[in-house]
Amino acid sequence: MTVTTAACAFGVVAVLLVILGFITYQGISSVSWEFLVDTPKPVGEGGGIGNAIVGSLILLGLASAVGIPVGVAVGTYLAELGGNWFGKTVRFVADTMIGVPSIVFGVFIYGLIVVRQGYFSTLAGSAALALIMIPIVARTTEEMIKLVPNTMREGALALGAPQWRVTVDIVLPAAMAGIATGAMLAVARVLGETAPLLFTAFGSRFYNIYLDEPMASLTVQIYHYAISPFEEWHAKAWAATLVLITLILGINILVRFVTRRRF
């Protein structure tokens, strides 16, 4: 029993390490300061992913600013008040949305926003990413809040706290570490999404901060580098992948540090 489970655990970790090691091996040699700050250039002239890093962070920031609060609010509703038919419906819809392929969200936003406006934009890209985040955050938030023991709620109610204060002051802080983990899962997921961005933020070869213009992103840039016929660009794709993974890891560590259990 111990041996079997340990072997499986080791196998999973080993696969992960092999993937990470291979990406590092392939990518590390092309990572340089120029690569991290330059915009893409024609083959043979260098070029990098600076605008894509900034673009990814802007897209992610906007998507998180909408997706995480809305997701936490939905999850809180489901956990504290969602026992009725409406709650059951919302929970079912969220579960279904989690299973929907991300390209569907891209096409949906393409039809809803891009086609009507007539141009690709950062806002459209963020909207697609936010739609992917909301159900993930909502369902993990709900599960984490349900883990908070009922006696803690009763303790606060018994002091004369109204229901909403019990939720805000006691329940949410108690579940914070778990909620942050759920939010991180969603962040990591959308930071790695390509398909929904192809139809919405589209991609760009320039630094851009305007939300109504096409926006570069790491994943789309990796896609362009990887499908090219040039060996040099393939190396850049590996390097960009390494940067993306490092970015996700960095955000993860930062959030864990900020939301670590103090009490």
Check if the beta carbon of residue 190 is closer than 8 Å to that of residue 60. yes
- Which of 98, 156, 247, 248 is close enough to bind other proteins by CB under 8 A? 156
The verdict on 149 binding other proteins (CB under 8 A) reads yes
- Contacts of other proteins in 8-67 (CB under 8 A): none
CB of 72 to other proteins, least distance (A): 17
- Which of 11, 101, 173, 250 is close enough to bind other proteins by CB under 8 A? 173
* Tokens describing residue 76: 């809180």
* Tokens describing residue 77: 């509703």
Tally helices (H) and strands (E) across the chain. Answer: 13, 0
The verdict on 161 binding other proteins (CB under 8 A) reads yes
The verdict on 101 binding other proteins (CB under 8 A) reads no
CB of 86 to other proteins, least distance (A): 15
Smaller CB distance to other proteins: residue 80 or 193? 80
Report angle CA 28, 57, 134 to the nearest 5 degrees: 120
The verdict on 250 binding other proteins (CB under 8 A) reads no
The verdict on 164 binding other proteins (CB under 8 A) reads no
**DSSP string for residues in 142-171:** HHHHHTS-HHHHHHHHTTT--HHHIIIIII
Query: H/E/C letters for each residue in 196-256?
Result: HHHCCCCCCCCCCCCCCCCCCCHHHHHHHHHHCCCHHHHHHHHHHHHHHHHHHHHHHHHHH
CB of 168 to other proteins, least distance (A): 11
* Tokens describing residue 96: 């279904």
Q: How many residues bind to other proteins according to rule CB under 8 A?
A: 22
The verdict on 83 binding other proteins (CB under 8 A) reads yes
* Cα 135 from Cα 49, distance rounded (Å): 30
The verdict on 87 binding other proteins (CB under 8 A) reads no
The verdict on 5 binding other proteins (CB under 8 A) reads no
CB of 260 to other proteins, least distance (A): 12
Q: Would you tell me which residues interact with other proteins (CB under 8 A)?
A: 83, 149, 151-162, 165, 169-170, 173-174, 261-263
